[in-house]
Structures are given as C-alpha cells and as structure tokens.
Structure 1
Amino acid sequence: MTSALRRLAPLLMVPALLLSSCASGDDGGAGDDADGTGGGASGDGQNQDQQERDQQEQDEQERREAFAAREAALAGPGDQHRDAAAAAVAELSIDEQAGQVLVGEYGGTDASGMAGLIEELHLAGAIVMGDNVPRGEDGADLDALAGELDTLHQAAVSRDWPAVVAVDQEGGLVTRVGHPLTEWPAPMAYGAARLGALDGQHSDEAPEEAPDEAAEEAAVAGHDALAALGHRAMGEDLAELGFTMDFAPNADVTLGAEDVAIGSRSFGADPQLVADLALAGLRGLAEGGLAGSAKHFPGHGGVTEDSHLTLPVQPAELSELEDHDWAPFQQVIEAGAPMIMMGHLDVPALEAGVPSSLSPAAYERLREMGHDGVIVTDALNMAAVVDQAGPAEAPVRALETGADLLLMPSDVRTAHAAIVDAVESGRLEEDRLTEAAERVVALMLWQQDLAAGELDAGPGVALPEVLQGLEEEVEQDGGGYADLPSITGEDAGEDAGEDTGDGAAEVAAAVARHAVTLVAGQCEADVLQGPVTVVGGQEQDRARLESALQAAGHQLGAGGTVIGLVAPGAPPSQGADVVVALDRPEPLRLHPAETQVALYGRGEESFTALVEVLAGAPAPGALPTPVGEHEVGHSVC
C-alpha cells in the first residue's frame, strides 16, 4: 500500500488505540503488596512510580484532547463557520437566499446551462448523475468531467463559499463516476469484512481465550478503519475532480430480502454494525475533503417498497424505530454529522399518510435527536413526493416543514419562484428561509476550509505530535489491528517509505478480499477443477471473471467447473457447481449449489479475490444480512 495510506491507518484507529493503551496501562501497580508499600519499596521508588503515573495521565489527556479536536474538525461546521454564514446570508436578498437552498439537476454532459442557472438563480449548486459524466473509449472521460465541474464552480466565484457540486457515489450499484476511477465494492462489503474479523475469520485456530475488551475494540477499529480508508480514498478521487459533496454513506439498516430499494447499499442488518460503519464512512469522506450525508432517515432499509416508484409505508411502532432503524442515525448525530438526508417514507408513528420529507414531525424528530446541521431532502422528483405535490408545492412544503437543502426539484426555476412567492405572500416565514440558507452556507464554508487543510483534520493535515507513536505503543501492548495486513502494509511487498501504485485501488482490493464470504461449501477447498465455464451475470461480469481466472493460470472451457453469477432479479442458475452473488447475498437462497459465495462487488478487485477463494484461499467475510436460514454472521470458514 502507498506510504500515505499506511500512515493514515493509525490516524483512523485513534479511539480504539486510546482505549487499548488505557487498558494496558491501568494495572496501577498490580505487583504491589496489599498494603500499597510495594513490598518495602523505598519512598523514592514510590515517588518515581507516582510521577510516571502522573505523566501517563497527562499524556492520555493530551491525546484525548487532540483526538477531540480532530473529531470536531471532521464533524461539520464550527462556530466560526456558522457566524460567518449568518453574516453572509444577512447580506443576501430573498431571491438569493431562495437559491441557496436549492440543488438542481441537468441533462447531458454539457454543464454550461446548469452553470447559467446557478449564476442567475443564485443556486447552491448542482448534482451530477451518471448521464452527466462524459464518456470515452475506456469509460468515464475524467479530464472532460473535471472541466465541466469547473464550469459549475466558476458560476459561484462571486461568493465567498464554493458551489455544491454533488454526486451519489456509494460504491457498488450506486456509482455515478466509474472506471477508470476506482470501482468500489458495495457498502455491504464493509459489513461482511467487519463481521468476519469479529468472528475470528482470520485465525487458523480458535483462540484459547475470549479476547479482552481492549483487543475486541482494536479488532472493531481495524475494520472501521477499513471503511474510513475506503471512503477517504473515494472522497479524494472525487474531490480531485472538483466535487464538494457526496450523498453517502447509507445509515439504513436493511431488513434483508424484502428490502427492494437499499439491499447491498446498506452496511448490513445489525443497527450497531451500520452505526459504526456509517460514522466511519462520514469521517473518511471528510478526511478526503468532502461533505458527506448519512441517509435516508427515517430508514429506507426497513420498508418493502421503493420511494422512487411509490410512497413506502413503515408501520413499526416508535419504540421499535428508535431501537432499530433510527439507532445508526442517533449514533452518527451524537458523534457529529455535517448533513442528514431525509427520505420519502410514510411513517404513521410520526405522521400517517405524509412523506417524511414533507412532514414536520420527521424533521422535529431529527432535531430532537440532536442534529443541528443541514437536513437535505432526497430527490424531490421521486414518485413518493411527486404523487403528493407538484413541482412548485413540494419544495415549499419541504422547506416550511424543516428541510434546509432541497435536492433535485422537478423544475428548479419553478421551485425558486415558488419559494420567493411563499415568502412574499407570508406563507413561508422569512426566518425559516434564512435559517436554512445559513446552515447550507456554513456547511460549504466548512467544506472549503476542510479541503484547504485549514482545520485540525482533513486532506494534508498531519497527525498531531501527541498522537504519533501511538500505533507502536498499542501494538507492543498486544492491541493489534485485527489482522489487516493490507492496511498496515505488512504484506504490501514494498519498503516502508516507498510510494507505489494506486492507493485507492489497493484499498478497494483490501475491502474486496476481506469481504468474500463462503456461505456454503468447504472452507479453503480448491473447487476449480478442470476448465472453467462462467455463466450468468452481465457480459462485463463474465469478461472480468474470465480475465481474473486466466491471470491466475486457470483454463477456460467446457467440461470442468461451472461458475454461475447471480444478480438481483436474475433467474436461478441451472447446473452451476459454484454460485456467486455479485451484489446482495440474499438471492443465494434461490440458487442451490454445493458452493455458494457472497462477493458484494463487480469490480476487477472483487473478481480477483473470488478466484483466490475458489482456488483454496480463506474466505474472511461473514454475512451482514440473513440469507435464507443463515443468520447474520454466518460463514462456513
């Protein structure tokens, strides 16, 4: 791995490292006699021991303060940003404030028309979808894309804060800018890797003793660091192109096979797992210089319909929602989040028959949970909202009920005019519009400082001196890094100071390798017997797997192992010896085969990891969501 990313690993593990170092040094004199005299130790010896303990406490306090400063920098706008935003918005007209709460969309790959609207209507900015990405012979034309994003930025140069240049880039199925940018496994891969580590997937033998609390914290932190590293690397790639905001990660807890909209976009079915990884994802994006957004409150993973097509109903009681679907959002909010996305769900426990994005009760609940940053709506052109309100009514209702940033209204010009009319007519209080505009401007002032390295954390900001050396200290005390050689550099095959290769691709490969889950079959068995035939999936999936097989020395052709690739909605594979779920793992229950593998990705790194496992390498991951009779945490290995 590149030296820069290797140095980042301990930075992202600081909370557990602090915990581990405290635990390792907390015996406070375990070898002393009961009377505290230390078996007759001299007074000078006792004074020296006390001095050492005092110094340890001082060092620990300095570390905690340094970490708290980094956390505050990554969590969102500070007082300085809010004060500056209030002053800036006070100078804006109603027309300009109305623009600052809107993010528009555009058609085609030419952003000049959208730039004109940003300048004319004073819009916060624009979102870039897949159809807006220029394409070349080898995928996305990144140079052309960067030029178009610069056009959007130039439309906002007259103000002191940058434009919102946003994207939905989660990894897996929701990838707007693909190859040659690094292609990431689905978010669920992080959940599979983390659960695999906690279940002892990396050990050839079961441990003789259960790990102590500090070791368990270190194992968890290792794979939270994997998620943070992945999101940082993804964020850095996007920031280099000119993006300032990424609507990720998902804090939705999937309910499994009946979850038709989120699936592998979720980290998993366990609320605590999702909470920890969502926070790691947010922090990683911030370290990369982007404003992230936990989504989709009040929890799209817990419903059985898709809000793109209809208004899903979440019938759960309030107590159940608090303990399950809302738990990740609560944890993220308590830690500090720059932005939360409000989804389009009908939640009778809050307000029956009304999309949460238009419901005062939903926004009030988020504020009661402690979130004081931006609340952005999910796209306002989705059927769940369009069926209830038109292009003029939806943005006004969302704003007056508590939204701060209105994403993708059906017609941004109509939405802007409707907001101005609502204020001038007295329907919408001017203070509500001002409040929303201040939050958006504060967010972008923070992102600007973050990306420029002006805060206590972010791109290019060095680890504070008081935290340097903590990695070695904890490793000496046995904390470890949950067997992540690909992250710590132990198997990188390079000198410590050498910076080689594509760091983002290497992290993506680590995610893929640690996520692969053997759901059925024999652990560490070579199942690639004779020529290999690949069936199912899409043409690109088959081509990539065949390429990975050939690169590993396997022959293609009939008469040997048949590998069936499965994607959501695909018919069951007939006669496959090995069935591989490429995205979400739940379809495996419909595909009986002696060997079943959950892959959680379609990138080249995922197929390379798959070939290694099918040839006998360990499968480190564990299921982050139920698959048929298999529960969360299941793995054959």
Structure 2
Amino acid sequence: MTSPGTPRRSRRLATASLLSVLLLSSCGPASETSPEGAEQSAGSAEEDQAEAQAQAEAEARQAQEAALAGPGEEHRQRAEEIVAEYSTEELAGSVLVGEFASTDAAPMAALIDELHLAGSIIMGGNVPRGDQGVDTETLAAELETLTSGAQDREVPPMISVDQEGGLVTRVDAPLTEWPTPMSYGAAALGSEQDGDDAQSTEDETDDDDALARSGHRFLAAELEELGFTTSFAPEGDVTVGAADPTIGSRSFGGDAEAVSELAMSGIRGLAEGGLAGAVKHFPGHGSVTEDSHQTLPVQDASLDELRSRDWVPFAEAAEAGVPMIMMGHIEVPALEEGTPSSLSAAAYSELRDMGHEGVVVTDALNMGAIVQGYGGDQAAVLALEAGADLLLMPADVGGAHAAIVTALESGELDRSRATEAAQRVTALQLWQADLAAGELAAGPGAELPEELARESEDASEAEADAEGLDSAAETAQALGRSAITLVAGQCEADLAAEGIQIVGGSAQDRSRLATAAQAEGITVGSGAVVNLIGESSSAGGDIAVALDRPEVLAAADAPTRIALYGRTVESFEALARVLSGEDAPGRLPVAVGEDERGHSTC
C-alpha cells in the first residue's frame, strides 16, 4: 500500500540536495568571499530552498491527485496475484453486482458468498425506514451483513448505491439532502459571472467548482460512514434540455466543458469522502430522446459531433484519471449499428482510446434497452466479451453467473478477457478500501504531508469563510442560496409583501415552503400565488417555481418565474429569501425556451 510518508521521502531528498548545495557553496576560504559574494550566496541559497520547497509541494500534490484518481500500481499488482488464484466460478462472480428486493440483506449476503459476487447495490426498497425517515442504525447493520458475505476474502465486497442528489437519491434524511446536480451548474455560472464582474483570476475560476467538490465530499462521507463503498455518480451527460426525457436536472448542464469541470469536481469529491465514483453514462444519455429504462435509444450524431459535445466530459475524465466510467445502453450507428453501446466492442474501444484505464461498469442490465432484445443471462456474457469489466444488476444474477461460467468453460468467452475485467474490479476494490482507511496520500483520515498540511488548512478556512463549506449542512445552504435563478421578473423585488398562497408540488414541498416562509416573516395563506412546478405540474399563478428541471418554466405564464433545482429544506429557505427581496445569484445552466444558457434577470 502507498504510505502517507511517500511525499515526505521526496522532501527529504530535496532537502538533502539543498544541504549539498549549501555545503559546496561554503567550501572556499573566508578571505576569498567578498560581502557582495556573501549576499549573492545567501540569495542563491534562499532561491534553492524555495525551489526545493516548491518541488516538494508539487510532488505532494501529484501524489494526492494520483491517490484520488484510482488504483495505483500496488493495487494492480496485488489484484493480478489474487485473480490468478480464482476458480472459474470465482472469476465469473467477481465481475457481477447483484440486487435484492427487501430490507433483509441476509439472503443477498449468502448469494455474495455462494456466487463469489463482487458485491451488491442498494436501491430505495432496500433502505429501512422509521418514523423519522431512514433508519440509519438498521441500514448500517444490513450493510455490515452484506460485507460479511465476503468475510473470508482479501477483497472487500462492493456495497454500492445510486446517490446523485435530487431525483436520484436512495438514502435521504436524516442524511443531508442534496438538490439536483444541475444546481451546481447554476451556482457555478453565477459565481463565474461575479468573477467576471470583478476581473476574475484563474484561482477564482477554480473556486467556481468548490461547491461541487465539497458537496460530493460530504455526500460520500455520510454514505461511507454507514458502510457504502461506491456511488454510481456523477453525471457526465450533457443535456440538450427539454428534448431530453431521461437526464434533465440530473445533468450539471448543457455545456460540455462546464459539465466536464463539475463532473471532475464531483468524482474527486466522492474520493475525498472515501467512495469510488463512476462518471456516467457514456456515450452520453443527455442528447437522446428516448429512455433506456424503457427502450433502446438511438444516437444518430456523427463521431465528430459526439467528440465535440457528448464525449468531452468522458474524454477529459479519462485523461485526468478516474476509477470508473459507466457505459449506457444507447445505440450509436456511427460506432456499431444495431447494438447497444453496453454490448458493443466499438464503444468500449472508444473509451479505452480516450485513455481510460479504470473499470468500465455497465448501466443496469435489467433495463428495457437490454432485456427486450437480449434477455438477461446472455447479455452479461455479451457485455463482458465486448469489453465491460463490471456487470451491474443483471435481471437474474444467478443466471448471469451460470451463463458466464458456461461461456468460459466452452471457450465462447476468452478467459483472458474475464481475467482482465476481474483484475480491474479487484484493484478498484482494494484501492477504495485503502482510500477509506486513510492509507493513501488522500482520502478521509489521510495524514497530509507537511508541505500541504498548512496550505490545506489555510485553504479550508478561506473556503469556509467565503462559501460556508465547513460542514454538510452549511454546504447545502450555500448551494441553495447560490443556485436559485430568477428567470423572469424584477430582481430583488419584495414578492411576498402581501403574503403568499402555495399551490402545486407535493405535500412535503408545500410544507417546507410554508415553514421557510414563516421563518422569513412571510404570511402564508393569502397574497401572491406561488405555483410549485414539478416534472409535469400545470403552469399558472403569480410566481412559477420549477422544483427540478427548469425547462418547465418555458410553458409557464406567471410574470415571475424562478428555477429552484431542488426540493430540499435549504432550497425552500433560499426561495423564501428571494420572495422577500433578496438577490437570486444563479444562472440557467441550460436553455429554457428563448432564454439561453447563462440567462438571469438579476
């Protein structure tokens, strides 16, 4: 395992070199050294010391980035040794992630043991609940039960979840609730505009993504504490807006470069919190007009178009290094006609050509795009043969396991291909365990090298002072305040002077807004009509508020239109403040009707 002391060894070498320079510079007789020469020598020593310090800091940062990016050489070597000892049954199981249908994890733990599975995914129906929301104590115990299914292995099981924030949240309160990922895009655009107004610097540009990194770090830390190891997030999909029926506000926005930056901030934040993440869904689900949960979408764009738009976030992720990328179920005729990308060798080759060296995980193999045309069991073999490393949620994990074993024994599936996949998955699991344990140069509990410890502390204090990012709650509050966007209406107008009437949304939405409004001193029950619009709510009222994707505002006829990007307590608190006359600093991360990306009336 990589030791946290590795950067210190580099510093000791740099210090030794510096001492050698100082000794050599002092070898001449004192009588031959003029005052000017002494000053020059001292200046040279200071420059050498500064250069050595800068080099040591650069090496420490490089070690941090490498630790966050995925498995190191030591993990890959150990994975090769472990997989070399696998039986055919163990090899087949090591690339499968199963699911179960209740809050009792014991049967799934037995299946992990029996079929040698890589792990399990937790869906909403697996999460135990009590009067106050998620029963976190029981959930942690169930996750521990799942882990016990692999207690005799060196490789810990993958305990995974889809936790993006917003509409895709499996484990909610009392964990911190996060708004849609698009909220980060709105906040970053608002921050970017403020920076432009103040002659922004390169450092300020980097700060645009601080919320995304911080939010994902806190999200991961809460999940990791419960026993999760993996979250299949963040989105690398670039949404085209209203024509995109599936991704919508799950995307960071409609600009490829902006999505790239936020996706990288997100996946690095997850790693800092101790989780393996996965940028998804290559080859891009944001620009197809059908839902792969139901059918097979067809992406008719040319390769040039895809490489300049949909594939930009994935190419940049591959180049920077990420632990995992998810392959979606989308037919791309320009790559391979008539075949879902998850079963297409050409699609996997494209990702590898981009430079991705980590795991490629399929989207769920029980989705309509796959089971309607390929069945459940054989699809697992076809995906593995095409280039997948990890097979997520086959319709019947036992049947998929048996099909892989049969294909290996018959020679239909080359053992070397399965071995390669298993090695990548095993290396990922070893890396995540070390990361979460604080045994790498980054991650929760990692001991920072001396060169970065003070700098990191100063940066964290400055970040907390500027953005309120020193806790999950304060980050969620900062995100709610920064994202809210006034799409139409007068900026900083007191919209609730005569009170508000709340319509639309869910009972929880209305309750949360009422509570936030009353805390702000707003009368609830009379006055302006605030219409909370979800995915398909009707428009109308005096103030239309889009709770999830902002594109629904294009059909609203209210004179004031607001994009909220979330239904969290903090989102409604931000809304109440804007209704009272505060600024709405966010900007549209995607076009809404005739309003272009970046639009705001503030």
Once residues 158 and 246 of structure 1 are traced to their aligned partners in structure 2, the CA distance between those partners, rounded to angstroms, is 24
- Please give the residue correspondences for 1:7-22 in structure 2 after superposition, counting only pairs within 5 Å: none
**Aligned match of 1:625 in 575, 590, 593?**
590
Structure 1 position 526, deviation (Å): 1.3
Distance 1:482-1:148 versus aligned 2 partners, 3 A rule:
closer
**Aligned match of 1:504 in 440, 464, 472?**
472
Aligned length: 568
8 Å CA contact 1:293, 1:338 repeated in 2: yes
CA RMSD of aligned residues (A): 2.0
Once residues 509 and 465 of structure 1 are traced to their aligned partners in structure 2, the CA distance between those partners, rounded to angstroms, is 32
Once residues 482 and 235 of structure 1 are traced to their aligned partners in structure 2, the CA distance between those partners, rounded to angstroms, is 19
Once residues 457 and 156 of structure 1 are traced to their aligned partners in structure 2, the CA distance between those partners, rounded to angstroms, is 26
Distance 1:50-1:257 versus aligned 2 partners, 3 A rule:
farther
Distance 1:629-1:53 versus aligned 2 partners, 3 A rule:
farther
**Aligned match of 2:562 in 585, 594, 597?**
597
Which letter does structure 2 place at the counterpart of 1:597?
Answer: I
Structure 1 position 49, deviation (Å): 5.0
> Which residue pairs with 1:232 in the alignment?
217
Structure 1 position 352, deviation (Å): 1.2
| Matching of residue 179 in structure 1 with residue 173 in structure 2 | yes
Once residues 481 and 284 of structure 1 are traced to their aligned partners in structure 2, the CA distance between those partners, rounded to angstroms, is 15
Once residues 158 and 454 of structure 2 are traced to their aligned partners in structure 1, the CA distance between those partners, rounded to angstroms, is 38
| Matching of residue 552 in structure 1 with residue 507 in structure 2 | no
Structure 1 position 621, deviation (Å): 0.9
| Matching of residue 516 in structure 1 with residue 484 in structure 2 | yes
Once residues 333 and 40 of structure 2 are traced to their aligned partners in structure 1, the CA distance between those partners, rounded to angstroms, is 65
8 Å CA contact 1:532, 1:555 repeated in 2: yes
**Aligned match of 2:88 in 84, 94, 97?**
94
| Matching of residue 122 in structure 1 with residue 116 in structure 2 | yes
- Please give the residue correspondences for 1:457-496 in structure 2 after superposition, counting only pairs within 5 Å: 457-470=442-455, 484-487=466-469
Structure 1 position 432, deviation (Å): 0.8
> Which residue pairs with 1:6 in the alignment?
none
The normalised TM-score by structure 1 is 0.86
Which letter does structure 1 place at the counterpart of 2:142?
Answer: E
- Please give the residue correspondences for 1:375-394 in structure 2 after superposition, counting only pairs within 5 Å: 375-394=360-379
Once residues 106 and 254 of structure 2 are traced to their aligned partners in structure 1, the CA distance between those partners, rounded to angstroms, is 42
**Aligned match of 2:193 in 194, 199, 209?**
199
Once residues 563 and 315 of structure 1 are traced to their aligned partners in structure 2, the CA distance between those partners, rounded to angstroms, is 41
Structure 1's unaligned 5+ residue stretches are 1-40, 490-502
Q: Name the SS for the 1:328 alignment partner.
A: helix
Structure 1 position 595, deviation (Å): 1.4
Structure 1 position 44, deviation (Å): 6.0
**Aligned match of 1:153 in 128, 147, 158?**
147
Q: Name the SS for the 2:360 alignment partner.
A: strand
Structure 2's unaligned 5+ residue stretches are 1-34
Once residues 464 and 623 of structure 1 are traced to their aligned partners in structure 2, the CA distance between those partners, rounded to angstroms, is 40
**Aligned match of 1:321 in 290, 306, 315?**
306
Post-superposition CA distance 1:243-270 (Å, at most 9, x none):
1110000011111111110011111111
Once residues 464 and 90 of structure 2 are traced to their aligned partners in structure 1, the CA distance between those partners, rounded to angstroms, is 51
Greater helix fraction, Structure 1 or Structure 2: 2
> Which residue pairs with 1:426 in the alignment?
411
Distance 1:358-1:616 versus aligned 2 partners, 3 A rule:
same
Which letter does structure 2 place at the counterpart of 1:185?
Answer: P
> Which residue pairs with 2:319 in the alignment?
334
Once residues 456 and 86 of structure 2 are traced to their aligned partners in structure 1, the CA distance between those partners, rounded to angstroms, is 48
The normalised TM-score by structure 2 is 0.91
Structure 1 position 467, deviation (Å): 2.3
| Matching of residue 85 in structure 1 with residue 50 in structure 2 | no
Q: Name the SS for the 1:379 alignment partner.
A: coil
8 Å CA contact 1:318, 1:349 repeated in 2: yes
8 Å CA contact 1:339, 1:374 repeated in 2: yes
Q: Name the SS for the 2:373 alignment partner.
A: coil
> Which residue pairs with 1:536 in the alignment?
504
Post-superposition CA distance 1:603-626 (Å, at most 9, x none):
101100111112122211111111
Structure 1 position 59, deviation (Å): 2.5
> Which residue pairs with 1:565 in the alignment?
532
Post-superposition CA distance 1:9-59 (Å, at most 9, x none):
xxxxxxxxxxxxxxxxxxxxxxxxxxxxxxxx9666666555544443333
Aligned identity (percent) is 58
Post-superposition CA distance 1:489-519 (Å, at most 9, x none):
7xxxxxxxxxxxxx21221111111111111
> Which residue pairs with 1:31 in the alignment?
none
- Please give the residue correspondences for 1:5-84 in structure 2 after superposition, counting only pairs within 5 Å: 50-84=44-78
Q: Name the SS for the 1:455 alignment partner.
A: coil
| Matching of residue 396 in structure 1 with residue 381 in structure 2 | yes
